Structure 1
Amino acid sequence: MKERKLGLVSAISVCVGLIVATSCLLSLGQGMGLAGKGFIVSMFIVIILNALLAISFSELHNLMPEVEGGLGQYTLVGLGPVPSIVSNLSAYVLTNLLAGSVEMAMCGMVIHNTFLKQVPAVVISLILLALLALVNYMGVDIFSKIQNIVVILLLGSLAVLGILSTFKLGTGQVIEVVNQTQPVVTGWKGITSLSALAFWLFIGIEFVIPISKNLKNPKRDVPLAMILGILILFVVQTLIGIGMTNYVTLEELSTSSMPHMVFAENLLGKAGGYWMGFVTILAGVSTINTVLGSVTRILSGMADAQMMPEIFSRKNSKDTPVAGLILMVSIVAGILITGFASSSSLTNLLLAASCFWLTSYIMVNISVLVLRKKYPDAPGRNKKLTLFGIPQIICIAGDIFMIWNIAEGENRIFVYKIFFAFLIIMTAYAYTWVKIIKRTSFQEYITLESINEN
């Protein structure tokens, strides 16, 4: 039977579904609390940068259409083994560990505050984590079967809540403009500095690449799904953001550990709290399930490519990479138990995760420029979109700017401590693995021809 090909709508669904998470609502609420409607400008800046990033990913995909791993393999060809290992570990392993811990922590807090006040939040989080670990160990990925339904429920719920709140149709008390607290962040410099926080709302657009072989028109749909996906999210999140300022003071939005829950309850009372609680649980559990299912296989793929120890490629009878699953669950559980994912640290963990992903995106854009130099006449490149490397240069500059402005004061120091500590550890591991254990040269690049043949 001929394999059914997917259209643009399915590609957008995959792109959007993997970006939407509870942590986005946290970042959105706190961003709107800090800058008011000015945060929408911060979001738009990120939209522009991600549209340019989509051009880079599209070019790399056209150069290497048979590559399914995406970012790590692109940097392997462009920059060599050490940057490839660091980019893979940064964008997919560490980022998802930190973000997954935040999702589990928020799920635990929401269930505790809304449904089970007698059970500690951390206990709820650990029970959920254990259940999802068991599901993944058995090789049963429930959410993969209903991905489109989950996306429709999440985006549909957020869109309805956004429309109700933007047009002041809720049952709660509307905060008039004259009674609204003033934003802490103002001016162009302040608004642009918040782009680092807004970045988390649109992270991971490249997840559409692994399904590119199943698309009817991948050359067109890969970049189009990325751009349309973030535009859809921008509209929905703009509605939610404006709605938040109609029902919650900016001061409360910026200081609350769960601003989306405060917003929903102010909008529709207890019913709104239960509704947003359901959305939070659905998004959080879906996200951590995706993390456990996908990152363990990324580690397995790295082991197959001899970039990680061989144990990570071993699978049980259900085709689950057990070592990676144990590692992921153990680290997430450790973060939850030690309190690093407590309410006071949630945003800082997300900002640290953003630093890792931004670093990987910098490597992607550098890879594009390097490969243009090494393979100027390679087939598949759309020379009309190269524009002398301007999109890549803008992206690199924008990513560096966001890392530099990731936070302020003590929070900035805390985020940098997490970021640089793990970056040093990853670089040391990559150096040791490539030079000492595998005894290969840093300049031993995989060619464009060889990776397309595999």
Structure 2
Amino acid sequence: MNSKKMGLGSAVSVCVGLIVATSCLLSLGLGTGLAGKGFITAMFIVVILNILLAFSFRELHDLMPEAEGGLGQYTLAGLGPVPSIVSNLSAYVITNMLAGSVELAMCGLVIQETFLKGVPVLIISLSLLAFLTIVNYLGVDIFAKIQNLTVIALIGSLILLGVISAFKLGVGTPLAPGAQTPPVVTGFSGILSLTALAFWMFIGIEFVIPVSKDLKNPKRDVPLAMILGVCLLFIVQSLLSTGMRNYVSLEELRSSSMPHIIFAERVMGKAGSYWMGLITILAGVSTINTVLGSVTRILSGMADAGLMPSYFSKKNKSGTPTPGLFLMTGVISFILVSGIANYSGLTNFLLAASCFWLTSYILVNLTVLVLRRRYPNAKGRDKRFTLGGIPQIICIIGDIYMILHIAEGDARIFIYKIYFVLLIITLLFAFFWVKIVKKADAFRPVSLDEINNVKLENQDEEGQASPSLMIN
């Protein structure tokens, strides 16, 4: 049966749609409030790193066309099962636990401020989480029909707001010349310190890989979609950042728990706050629904592959992997109830999540370098784009720099506590599981032939596939 293939435009839409989340608006507002127009420079640096990262994903996709996008599959082929476990848990499970808490906290704040002023934020956030947990437990994807509409509405709203505000066309009154408050982060070293915050706004460019088999020209369109996607996002985010400076003081942006709501209201009046509030809620709820659905299936796929206990592969009558669902719900609930996901901790949680995704990207770039050495004449590799390993080396250095300069003062200590404690736990689990339980070599890679000859299953709702080869 012939199915209609997607073109480059559709690939870019997939890439952009899966990157944008409401937490990106928090990062944009805070970054702009801290550095003013200097934050655009920080975003540009991150865009360059992501373009270089696209070269790595292009090569890995060309070498392993049957591996449909799970970072764990790539690192399994290059570095072995322990790095594969760390990569998958870092990029998908831990990151989504932290980011999911932020999304729910933001939804609670927006709903309280815009629609239910008398209801505590915690009650709203936990109620949403409980509702979405039940929805996923029953296997009912009530958001499937509005998912694309929500993404289109969110991105369309951001583009429209960006253009209107950047050119001062809103119904509100722009700040008078000279009335803008000064940035607190200045100088190139200060701007570099904000790259980790900007990184969150462009994270996940590899999400286009799972749909590669549906593209007309995947070899060209996969890397091109990644590059065009981050460039499009950079343009939109730059317009929004400029617009924010036109209508909101930097002091307000860096101190507000909802800078995007304040911004929308200043540009479009009260209708703007309701408009952005509704879009924020829809996007946030849709994101959490995807997180609960996708991570549970990633854990189930890892269990089927032997990288996690078989307990995580258990499913209910609706086909939902319930152990992973309850784990995600429990951890996110704990973070919300503990109070560490209040406004003062939201940005720090995003930065901690960035550390974990940066860790997975470091492993991806190391995988590219290792596979080049192990398979110098591998079929599929286009040597015109290897560039002597320079893109990978720059990415690794840049990723390490962002982790080392993630924040300053107490915030840095808080972020590192989350990052290193969870990373150590992940490493200990990975070594224990592979060496003690599976009695396998911690760093024995799976061959490219094995990866390409095994039919992949157990994909999550975003199309991310878990490693399907495993430790025997």
When the two structures are superposed, what TM-score results if normalisation uses the length of structure 1?
0.98
Look up the equivalent residue of 1:412 and give its one-letter code: R
Is 1:367 aligned to residue 367 of structure 2?
A: yes
Deviations 1:293-320 (A, max 9, x none): 1111111111011000101112222221
- Are residue 35 (structure 1) and residue 47 (structure 2) matched? no
CA contact (8 A) 2:208 2:222 kept: yes
1:35-184 mapped onto 2 (5 Å cutoff):
35-184=35-184
Any idea what the Cα deviations from partners look like across 1:199-222, whole Å, max 9, x if unmatched? 011001111112222222211111
Q: 1:6 to 1:223 in 2, by over 3 A?
A: same
Structure 1 residue runs of 4+, over 6 Å off? none
What is the correspondence of 1:11-410 to structure 2 with a 5 Å cutoff?
11-410=11-410
Letter in 2 for 1:198: A
Superposed displacement of residue 145, structure 1: 3.4
Q: Render the CA deviation track for 1:170-209: whole Å, top value 9, x for unaligned.
A: 2222113411111111111111221111001100111111
Q: Which amino acid aligns with 2:345?
A: S
Q: Kindly tell me: are residues 6 and 138 of structure 1, through their superposed partners in 2, closer, same or farther at Cα, counting changes over 3 Å?
A: farther
Name the residue aligned to 2:461.
none
Q: Is the 8 A contact 1:17 1:147 kept in 2?
A: no
Distance (whole Å) between structure 2 residues aligned to residue 7 and residue 141 of structure 1: 27
Instruction: Return the alpha-carbon distance in structure 2 between the equivalents of residues 85 and 124 of structure 1.
Output: 34
Report the Cα distance in structure 2 between the residues aligned to 1:291 and 1:60, rounded to whole angstroms. Answer: 25
CA-to-aligned-CA distance 1:325-377 (integer Å, 9 cap, x gap): 11111111111111121111000000000000001000000000000000001
The 8 Å contact of residues 69 and 207 in structure 2, kept in 1 or not, is answered as no
Deviation of the 1:102 alpha carbon: 0.3
Query: What are the superposed Cα offsets for residues 367-398 of structure 1, whole Å, 9 maximum, x if unpaired?
Result: 00000000001011110000100000000011
For the residue of structure 2 that corresponds to 1:184, the secondary structure is: coil
Structure 1 unaligned blocks of 5 or more: none
Q: Which amino acid aligns with 1:373?
A: R
Secondary structure, counterpart of 2:143 in structure 1: helix
RMSD after superposition: 1.1
Residue 167 (structure 1) shift: 1.0
Aligned length in residues:
454
**Structure 1 contact 358–399 (Cα < 8 Å) conserved:** yes
Deviation (angstroms), 1:147: 3.5
Is contact 2:81–2:445 with CA below 8 Å preserved after alignment? yes
Q: Measure the CA separation in 2 of the matches of 1:278 and 1:394.
A: 40
CA distance in 1, matches of 2:99, 2:75: 23
Amino acid at match of 1:32: T
What is the distance in 1 between the residues matched to 2:437 and 2:177?
Answer: 63
Distance 2:356 2:20 in 1: 19
In 1: Cα distance, 2:129 partner to 2:443 partner: 41
- Mapped partners of 1:210, 1:410: distance in 2: 39
Q: What SS is found at the alignment partner of 1:235?
A: helix
In the TM superposition, what is the alpha-carbon distance from 1:151 to its structure 2 partner?
Answer: 2.0
Between stretches 169-178 and 25-34, larger displacement belongs to 169-178
Distance 1:12 1:312 in 2: 33
Which amino acid is 1:72 matched to?
G
Counterpart contact for 2:83–2:443, Cα < 8 Å:
no
Distance 1:32 1:291 in 2: 28
Contact kept, 8 Å, 1:141 with 1:293, in 2: the verdict is no
1:241 maps to amino acid: S
Segment drifting more, 304-313 vs 209-218: 209-218
Deviation at 1:69, TM superposition (A): 4.2
CA contact (8 A) 1:16 1:151 kept: no
Q: In structure 2, the residue corresponding to 1:378 is in which secondary structure?
A: coil
Verify the 8 A CA contact 2:105 2:336 in the aligned structure 1. Answer: yes
Of the structure 1 ranges 309-318 and 370-379, higher mean CA displacement relative to structure 2 is found in 309-318
| Distance in 2 (alpha carbons) for counterparts of 1:90 and 1:443 | 17
Residue 441 of structure 2: SS of its match in structure 1? coil
Give 2:31's aligned amino acid. G
- Gaps (5+ residues) in structure 2? 455-472
Distance 1:96 1:183 in 2: 31
Partner Cα distance (1:268, 1:311) in 2:
51
Deviates more, 1:218-227 or 1:95-104: 218-227
Structure with the larger helix share: 1
Which residue identity does 2:259 align to in structure 1? Answer: P
Match for residue 422 of structure 1? 422
The whole-number CA distance in structure 2 between the counterparts of 1:128 and 1:99 is 15
Identity, % of aligned positions? 69
Determine helix, strand or coil for the equivalent of 1:91.
Answer: helix
> What is the rounded CA distance, in whole Å, between the counterparts of 2:14 and 2:310 in structure 1?
30
Alpha-carbon separation, structure 2, partners of 1:238 and 1:86: 34
Q: Which moved more, 1:254-263 or 1:414-423?
A: 254-263
Task: Give yes or no for contact 2:86–2:430 (8 Å, CA) kept in 1.
Answer: yes
Alpha-carbon shift at residue 445 of structure 1 (Å): 1.8
Q: Which AA in structure 2 matches 1:356?
A: F
Q: Distance in 2 between matches of 1:7 and 1:145?
A: 22
In structure 1, how many angstroms separate the alpha carbons of the residues matched to 2:366 and 2:386?
13
